[in-house]
Structure 1
Amino acid sequence: MRAFIAVTDNQWFNFLEQEIGIEEVNFWQPREKLQFKAIRTGEIFLFKLHHPDNFIVGGGFFSHSSSGIPCSLVWEWFERKNGVSTLNELRNKIEKYRHIPQHHPQTRYADYKIGCIVLTQPFFFTRDQWITAPSDFHSNIVQGKTYDLTSGLGKELWDAVVERLQRNNSFLVKTKPEAVIFGEPTLIRPRLGQGAFRSLVTDTYQRKCAITQEKVLPVLEAAHLKPVSEGGLHSLDNGILLKRDFHTLFDQGYITITPNYRVCVSKKLKEEFHNGKHYYQFHDTEIWLPPLSNQQPNRVFLEWHADTVFQR
């Protein structure tokens, strides 16, 4: 069981600790290439302010990371959960970290590609609860450091975090790091929020539409098979990546996907709009599926959509 202590932008932390009831945050990285493999899904990710503020001030549970995402899409996914109030502010922060002159006409609408570290169930300690960083977390550490929570400084850190979480009654958390959940040692199973759902579905489907194979990222959207308003969850098996127009038609019942993963286009499309040739070419074609069975659309949710939403 491990935790990652990340050097954290003070303004990012100050902004997010004021947000009420957020279920996820994006610990974004200003550079395009991101390979964050320090901890596994469900392990803890802690915020440590910049030196000389050597305190751990909060954290969250690691969901997944993603790289090379246009900042406009990152804003669409997470909005204020990026730790800023507007897309322009996000762009300005990226330029600051990249040492790019701000407010230059040529970069005013630049869609910088950045990295995302998605955290669920974030928590923020009050000033009197801040934890002094471990003694071996040196001031020259730029990004962060991983700790084993089962012994030494890591265990001391974990005990301090658990004590504060229990005091705050934030949520139920396992007090034994060695506990095994879902086959892997994890502290908690992350509950995806809307932004995390969009990000995870996009990467799981390798950034291409499951029906058309379209790869132009700005026109792709993560669709729910069963809407949240109908009791569906932000879960990977309740999602699929679709081109925006196919997403609209899916939500309105003009297209469905059968439990054997084939596209079915409603005759209503032609009857009501006297068109739809582009969409009918995909009728009865097989969709592209992620390689792992637990990543693929749940057949129960597909049946629900076909029975409840699809216009026959």
Structure 2
Amino acid sequence: MRAWIANTDYEWYRFLSGRPDLDEVNFWRPSSGTFRALSPGGPLLFRLKAPHNKIAGLGFFVHFSVLPASLAWAAFEAKNGAASEAAMRERIEKYRRRRREEGDAGLDYKIGCIILAEPTFFPERDWIDQPRDWHPNTEVGRTQDLTAGEGRRIWHAVMDRLRGSRVSEPTPLDRFGAPVLVRPRLGQGAFRILVTDTYQRRCAVTGERTLPVLEAAHIRPYAAGGPHEVTNGLLLRSDLHTLFDRGYVTITPDYRLEVSRRIRQEFENGRDYYAFSGRKIVLPDASDAQPDPVLLDWHNHRVFRP
């Protein structure tokens, strides 16, 4: 297995290391681009830049997405490593200026979001020496084989620090010392972005693509025992999300929208919604990402008010 050792902003690390019980973080990049170094569950190690030159924690890769900065803040808030959206933007724009990406003032520019689950931040006494062959001109990061040499040394040190922590060793060593990938648990922010991207940033009912009005809805609410899983999610326009949560609309197990007669009875309106009644929703291409019919049936009988 391979890890990604990522150059990490010290202020990002310092802010997040002081926050207990984080289930996820957004390891943002100051500009859009791609990230293909890890598969879901793969470890990303936080390497603090000079003068520290140490590995100070890790998280487990969930998903990469290019998002407007405003949506990154809305999804993760302080888990972006800053106390406010303004503080996050100030830090991002510092790096963007270095890269001569001008014209940011007042714009909702896009950033790369590496979404990580179950992050752990080591106190300074537990920092780990970076690879001995680390090149000082490495700009972003590099992949590292964890099964031999420096990678094996670092991974053993990481696992020593994880044992006894709140992380239940999601990537344990087997008897021969080989790391094993395990799918990380999703947090609320990761759920929101995964559902958004799985539905290709389109409302499942209307096809609306205006990103600020699209919301990831839980079919079975998290507070009612529903998981943060894509199969428990729907991407809906904000008004439809509200109606779905309040039981005025539902999605049947055969993926058709059903609209309650109560909209007309209570509000003497709803023509636009009734026009969609009986229509099949747009589904994700991957069958294993489509809404769970069992969860839809739960919503039909426990939330929907015919």
Structure 1 residue 166: deviation in Å? 0.8
Describe the shift of the 1:308–1:178 C-alpha distance in structure 2 as closer, same or farther (beyond 3 A).
farther
Structure 1 residue 107: deviation in Å? 5.4
Q: Is the 8 A contact 1:25 1:81 kept in 2?
A: yes
1:79 aligns with 77
Describe the shift of the 1:178–1:149 C-alpha distance in structure 2 as closer, same or farther (beyond 3 A).
farther
**2: distance between equivalents of 1:170 and 1:120?**
10
2:207 aligns with 213
Pairing of 1:1-312 with structure 2 (within 5 A): 1-32=1-32, 34-67=33-66, 69-99=67-97, 109-168=106-165, 170-176=167-173, 186-312=180-306
1:182 aligns with none
- In the comparison of the two structures, how many residue pairs are matched? 301
Deviation per CA, 1:61-89, whole angstroms, max 9, x where unpaired? Answer: 0001001x111111110000000011111
Deviation per CA, 1:216-262, whole angstroms, max 9, x where unpaired? Answer: 00000000000011100111100010000000000001110000001
**1: distance between equivalents of 2:106 and 2:265?**
42
Structure 1 residue 293: deviation in Å? 1.1
**1: distance between equivalents of 2:189 and 2:61?**
14
SS of the counterpart of 2:158?
A: helix
**TM-score, normalisation: structure 1:** 0.93
Question: Aligned AA for 1:236?
Answer: V
SS of the counterpart of 1:158?
A: helix
**1: distance between equivalents of 2:187 and 2:241?**
19
Q: Is the 8 A contact 2:257 2:277 kept in 1?
A: yes
Flag structure 1 segments of 5+ consecutive residues without an equivalent: 180-184
Structure 1 residue 128: deviation in Å? 1.0
Question: Aligned AA for 1:7?
Answer: N
SS of the counterpart of 1:28?
A: strand
Deviation per CA, 1:114-133, whole angstroms, max 9, x where unpaired? Answer: 11000000001111110000
SS of the counterpart of 1:256?
A: strand
Deviation per CA, 1:88-146, whole angstroms, max 9, x where unpaired? Answer: 1112122211118xxx9x85542121110000000011111100001121110011011
Q: Is the 8 A contact 1:43 1:186 kept in 2?
A: no
Q: Once the two structures are aligned, what percentage of the paired residues are identical?
A: 50
SS of the counterpart of 2:25?
A: strand
**TM-score, normalisation: structure 2:** 0.94
Question: Aligned AA for 1:247?
Answer: H
Q: Is the 8 A contact 1:150 1:178 kept in 2?
A: no
**Could you say what the CA RMSD is over the residues aligned between the two structures, in angstroms?**
1.8
**2: distance between equivalents of 1:19 and 1:173?**
21
SS of the counterpart of 2:272?
A: helix
Flag structure 2 segments of 5+ consecutive residues without an equivalent: none
Q: Is the 8 A contact 2:93 2:104 kept in 1?
A: no
Question: Aligned AA for 1:136?
Answer: D
**2: distance between equivalents of 1:281 and 1:169?**
50
Q: Is the 8 A contact 2:173 2:180 kept in 1?
A: no
**2: distance between equivalents of 1:26 and 1:168?**
21
Structure 1 residue 28: deviation in Å? 0.6
Question: Aligned AA for 2:275?
Answer: Q
**1: distance between equivalents of 2:87 and 2:94?**
10
